[in-house]
């Protein structure tokens, strides 16, 4: 294979023209379905091209259409929360779903894993982008604007160019479940980024505390630090509020850190403390005990986001619009299930 690869020469349109006994222009017109070409000539060209295994140049097609046929999923979330140590977080699941959906519509997804030290946009020739959970004054949103790259958001501010992750519904599901599972004094640990998810969880938590008559206890942790920040925030809460009997921690990295703090404090999940997180991903499933979480239907989210972006680009697929179902609770051992 190695030998073959090194000696292989690409079959060009000139090779097809020579073999077919026609001009390169006629061959190009025949293969691209443009101009006036006799149908028998066109078929002859196609047969010769197939026999020679001619592959049209993707780069030439891009130049002709002025499109890159590439999109990207981007996020300014710190790598510690969006992909995590194992690289298989929220971001990764969405990227895989979007890449598959995009390919079926003739688009390639460029993969830019969140990295704290590098700007992927400076390297990407893309027609559009999907921005995951933008922060207020998100630097990537600003750069997309400056580069005039069209984009949709996922889990951002409500609007026609946003795919709703239904943060408030997810928060309500988890808080009601904790209360129904026996919690009387649930606390909340949030990231400090001000993203819509964190704001909405905060709002729903405060409203629930008021409605159900428990005093709200909220801590914030630094997203860029990840699990260790979650551990420290939980340790602080447990020391200052020993009456807490449940923690709602929407960022799963923080939840895995909190598990350690609970253990270190000599308490057990779920016997002495209930614990719930948001995204039902690898981390929720592999923690010990596994964490109660919410199915956000990331497959449908990926599908809708790509569909909406392609519509924005004037390249809507033929498939019918899909809806993202309401988030669904996945009860696990961390809340006694």
Contact, 246 vs 273, CB < 8 A? yes
Residue 107 as a binder of its own copies (CB under 8 A): the answer is: yes
Tell me the torsion sign for CA atoms 208, 212, 216, 218.
negative
Residue 151 as a binder of its own copies (CB under 8 A): the answer is: yes
Helix (H, G, I), strand (E, B) or coil at 168: helix
Q: How is residue 84 written in tokens?
A: 């995590």
Residue 19 as a binder of its own copies (CB under 8 A): the answer is: no
Site track 57-96 with its own copies (rule: CB under 8 A), x = hit: -xx--xx----xxx------------x--xxx---xx-xx
Least separation in angstroms between residue 231's CB and its own copies is 21
Helix (H, G, I), strand (E, B) or coil at 258: helix
Residue 122 as a binder of its own copies (CB under 8 A): the answer is: yes
Partners of 73 in beta bridges: 111, 130
Partners of 294 in beta bridges: 279, 329
Nearer to its own copies, 56 or 321 (CB): 56
Nearest to 324 by CA among 291, 286, 298: 298
Least separation in angstroms between residue 61's CB and its own copies is 8
Nearer to its own copies, 216 or 290 (CB): 290
Per CB under 8 A, the list member of 35, 38, 139, 147 interacting with its own copies is 147
Nearest to 78 by CA among 111, 112, 113, 116: 116
Measured at the CA of 144, the angle between CA 254 and CA 138, to 5 degrees, comes to 35
Nearer to its own copies, 248 or 291 (CB): 291
Residue 313 as a binder of its own copies (CB under 8 A): the answer is: no
Per CB under 8 A, the list member of 14, 34, 50, 123 interacting with its own copies is 123
Cα 242 to its chain centre, rounded Å, is 36
Helix (H, G, I), strand (E, B) or coil at 145: helix
Write down the residue that tokens 């914030």 correspond to: 220
Site track 270-289 with its own copies (rule: CB under 8 A), x = hit: ------------x--xx---
In the complex, which residues of this chain contact its own copies (CB under 8 A)? 1-2, 4-5, 8-11, 53, 55-56, 58-59, 62-63, 68-70, 83, 86-88, 92-93, 95-97, 99-100, 103-104, 106-113, 115, 117-118, 120-126, 134, 141, 143-148, 150-151, 153, 156-157, 159-161, 282, 285-286
């Amino acid at each position: 294979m190695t030998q073959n690869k090194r000696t292989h020469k690409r079959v060009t349109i000139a090779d097809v023209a020579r073999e077919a006994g026609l001009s390169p222009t006629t061959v190009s017109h025949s293969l691209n379905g443009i101009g006036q070409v006799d149908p028998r000539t066109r078929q002859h060209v196609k047969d010769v091209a197939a026999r020679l295994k001619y592959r049209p140049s993707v780069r030439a097609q891009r130049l002709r259409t002025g499109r890159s046929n590439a999109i990207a999923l981007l996020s300014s979330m710190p790598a510690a929360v969006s992909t995590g140590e194992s690289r298989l977080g929220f971001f990764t699941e969405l990227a895989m779903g979007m890449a598959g959906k995009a390919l079926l519509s003739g688009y390639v997804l460029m993969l830019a894993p969140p990295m704290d030290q590098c700007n992927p946009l400076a390297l990407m020739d893309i027609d559009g982008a999907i921005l995951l959970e933008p922060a207020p004054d998100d630097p990537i949103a600003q750069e997309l604007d400056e580069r005039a790259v069209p984009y949709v958001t996922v889990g951002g501010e409500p609007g026609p160019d946003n795919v709703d992750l239904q943060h408030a519904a997810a928060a309500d599901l988890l808080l009601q479940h904790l209360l129904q599972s026996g919690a009387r004094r649930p606390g909340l640990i949030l990231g400090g980024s001000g993203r819509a998810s964190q704001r909405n969880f905060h709002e729903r938590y405060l409203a629930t505390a008021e409605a159900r008559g428990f005093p709200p206890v909220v801590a914030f942790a630094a997203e860029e630090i990840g699990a260790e920040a979650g551990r420290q925030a939980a340790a602080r809460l447990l020391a200052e509020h020993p009456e807490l009997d449940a923690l709602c921690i929407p960022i799963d990295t923080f939840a895995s850190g909190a598990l350690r703090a609970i253990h270190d404090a000599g308490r057990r999940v779920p016997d002495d403390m209930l614990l719930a997180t948001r995204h039902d991903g690898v981390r929720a499933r592999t923690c010990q005990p596994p964490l109660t979480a919410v199915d956000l239907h990331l497959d449908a989210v990926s599908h809708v986001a790509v569909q909406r972006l392609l519509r924005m680009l004037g390249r809507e697929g033929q498939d019918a619009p899909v809806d993202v179902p309401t988030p669904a609770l996945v009860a696990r051992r961390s809340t006694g299930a």
